[in-house]
Structure 1
Amino acid sequence: MAVRSAEATWTGSLREGAGSVKTGSGAVEGSYSFPSRFEDGTGTNPEELIAAAHAGCFSMALTADLGRGGFEPKSVHTVAKVHIERGDAGFSITKIELHTEADVPNIDAAAFAEFAEKAKVNCPISKALAAVPTIELHATLK
């Protein structure tokens, strides 16, 4: 199977330092800092990258499941929101919200909801993030 990679470099102290991340393919590259991660600073952060990975994985998994079920979606659009909070043990990801909207001809809302829930549970990124206490799904059929 495929092996994917990414790299990150951090220089300086935690609060005043800065870092950079880059995917192995070079398709994603950006800088990050304490403010971009824990405040409203500019730049990317690991949680944003997790959100991108989860949204992409879920959209593909839902498309695949629908296809296996005999439905061909015209589009599946997903926004993932990763919540990071400070607790007694430090920072942790406490919740991920998946907001998806799909245009799928000839399917009813109940069947679509079942396919969406299955994709949420079975996409590889959801499986990798199983330690997150809550992964919420908000699925809307166009």
Structure 2
Amino acid sequence: MINRRAHAVWQGTGKEGKGTITTQSGVLADQPYGFNTRFEDKPGTNPEELIAAAHAGCFTMALAFQLQAAGFTATEMKTESVVTLEKEGDGFKVSKSALTLTATIPGIDQAKFDELAHAAETGCPISKVLNAEITLKATLSQG
């Protein structure tokens, strides 16, 4: 079993308050977040951005393992995740994570690429934890 930690500190009200997020690795250390970073695109981070980063990273690594098991090695894979936050009743919900992948993988055909990309999409741990629609647009580059 692997445990990873992060913590948040918040001071003030929901709209006027401010917080910081720190991760175990130190990659984020007292990174500011608040209403303005979440809903107004001000500098700082927000939970949805962190979910998007986690999903893009998890999916891409899962695909690397799928490729390895099938005898392929990617020259490069670039994945973007766009996480959608929507109003739901009196609150909000992460409703979607849209993955967009461009990959250069020598020797693979389109059918095998699609099969492995789909397996990574459904099999990565972050996909499994999200209670949201997950989509994947995967492009195999001929580079």
Tell me the TM-score range normalised by the shorter chain.
over 0.9
Residue 14 of structure 2 aligns with which residue? 14
| 1:13 partner letter | T
Number of matched pairs: 140
SS at match of 1:16: coil
TM-score w.r.t. structure 1 length? 0.94
| Mapped partners of 1:64, 1:89: distance in 2 | 41
| 2:44 partner letter | G
SS at match of 1:107: coil
Alpha-carbon RMSD across the aligned residues, in angstroms, is 1.0
* Structure 1 residues 1-142: aligned runs within 5 Å: 1-29=1-29, 30-129=31-130, 131-132=131-132, 134-142=133-141
| 1:81 partner letter | V
> Residue deviations 1:96-134, cap 9 Å, x none?
1011111100111121111101000000111111x11x1
| Structure 2: runs of 5 or more not aligned | none
Post-superposition offset of 1:89: 4.3
